[in-house]
Structure 1
């Protein structure tokens, strides 16, 4: 290999590194926007279907705005892992609603909901819950911590609706899933 071939290969590697770095930056920031704040954790739930209680250890990724400001209404999103396969019959459709809990500079409960999803999901198969979103108006500057509170999954099978309430277990601490620094 000649010296000029070695120089060309080295430049190609540097170009490849620069292009790869740019792709990672764009994937992180998005096209033309600022990165969102995000946090991941597991929330331990006790859920109920009919008279049966079951555990749901929800893996959750919660996202919010990168630069929240007082007076703005912002969207908070939680992406939930699949619900365990507990339904004794196939599920035709379902919808997830819940509450986000805010603490710190701003306290309160935020209603959240996801779109109606269609199956069918086979009996005893996991139900993919996906994303739920809620909106909150930011009223005070400072640190605001958000976590996921109660959930309610409403499933439809054979034309009948069944509600599965899920409550965070009291003996497990709730993870602080999202930390926002609200500025004036």
Structure 2
């Protein structure tokens, strides 16, 4: 069989073309990159330089290989952490257009392959590749777009980057007729990185509206707006020991590196135990998205309950760590939180949700993410109480959400006094996240900050 016959068979089978690659045009475009939430860093602006190559000519029905080469990343690796060999993996999308193409997106993916990248040195990204099946004659243009950089160590984190201006096409394929109709379609190249190949399509995070839509998992539509009242114990002489509360719809504002806000329904339940009450606090499902990939036991919630009515002060409840490992960006169900309420006054006492704290523990370091109530939280439970020695009232606890009572030692709105202080700035959060015994533990999230380190520090 002659060489021409072999070439025709290969083309008919839809295999990759061996045609000479098109001359790539280097394109630059302004980019906004969002570091992972756990890093505590703000979004930063930079410029991305890319070369896209593909065969210069092809026929309808051919499948061609497209290559994305990052010529220059938007900034150097910050002067914080040395990146190990083969820890960086990029994914991205290329916009497919042109007179003969229609429109579409091609997913691109690179290997986890890089040389060691020292601190304060250029970011080196491997090439990304994808396969494109051509289904219509005409000129097909290839334009680079959004991309994501995953760093696997010391923990898996993603930095997501999207264009802030319309990039120019970097390559063009001249497709000759051969039958077929429709536009160009992606022949594969799907990302194995959890769908992070496109930050423009954040629906790949599996429902990021979970933080704002957790009321759908609270188990009732009927109690959504009627959260002002709580369950009443009665006269206390009926032998009743279990006192279920009502769902209280609460919205929280959280500090970095946590989510900006959390909406959830919280229910406070009590069981009488002598003169005190054993409390169990339940939140709705999918309260927040995990700020990073976390091992089992690394994320632990605690909550302050504000006392009202006859009693004053607050009571702390805590939950256990997550039972299973958590994926970055996936919804998190907080475990039930428990504690003990010892009344400090006789009469009708109310309990309402207050400050929520999410503790993240890694490498022996604990990071506290405080979340404060927006407005006033509704009462979830009302109890007929009898004052007990050493009870809440007069125990030195404040009446707000920032202090503990009944033995709670929290000084920042969380049960437990050993939380790392995150402060109001991202710089404080970064220090809490980054330094443990002189070693950076959690800077995977700050690997691609797209701005010189000293400039970040100076701005703050």
Q: TM-score range by the shorter chain?
A: 0.7 to 0.9
Q: How does 1:33-182 map to 2 (within 5 A)?
A: 34-37=19-22, 38-49=24-35, 50=39, 51-83=41-73, 84-87=75-78, 88-92=80-84, 93-104=87-98, 105-106=100-101, 107-158=103-154, 160-169=155-164, 172-182=165-175
> Which structure features the higher share of strand residues?
1
Q: Does the aligned pair in 1 maintain the 2:111–2:126 contact within 8 Å?
A: no
The answer as to whether partners of 1:97 and 1:132 remain within 8 angstroms in 2 is yes
Q: Higher relative contact order at CA 8 Å, sep ≥6: structure 1 or structure 2?
A: 1
Q: Which residue does 1:26 correspond to in 2?
A: none
Query: 5+ residue gaps in structure 1?
Result: 1-32
For residues 118 and 178 of structure 1, the distance between their equivalents in structure 2, rounded to whole angstroms, comes to: 25
Q: Where in structure 1 do 4 or more consecutive aligned residues deviate above 4 Å?
A: none
Distance in 1 between the 2:172 and 2:107 partners?
18
Counterpart secondary structure, 1:121:
coil
Name stretches of at least 5 consecutive residues in structure 2 with no aligned partner.
1-17, 178-460
The corresponding residue for 1:29 is: none
Match of 2:375 in 1: none
The alpha-carbon deviation at position 119 of structure 1 amounts to 4.2
Provide TM-score, normalisation by structure 2.
0.31
Structure showing the higher helix proportion among its residues: 1
Return closer, same or farther for 1:136/1:100 CA change in 2, 3 Å cut-off: same
Whole-Å separation in 2 of the counterparts to 1:131 and 1:91: 18
- Using structure 1 for the length normalisation, give the TM-score: 0.74
Per-residue deviation, 1:73: 0.7
User: How many equivalent residue pairs?
Assistant: 149
Residues 89/123 of structure 1: CA separation in 2 closer, same or farther (3 Å cut): same
Distance 1:180 1:119 in 2: 32
Structure of higher CA gyration radius? 2
TM alignment of 1:6-21, pairs within 5 A: none
Whether contact under 8 Å (2:113, 2:126) holds in the other structure is: no
- After superposition, the C-alpha distances for 1:64-110 in whole angstroms (9 at most, x for unaligned) are 01221110110011110243124432222110000011012222110
Deviation at 1:134, TM superposition (A): 0.9
CA distance in 2, matches of 1:174, 1:82: 15
1:177 and 1:60 map into 2 onto residues whose CA distance is: 8
Query: Matched residues in 1 for 2:107 and 2:147: separation?
Result: 10
Partner of 1:10: none
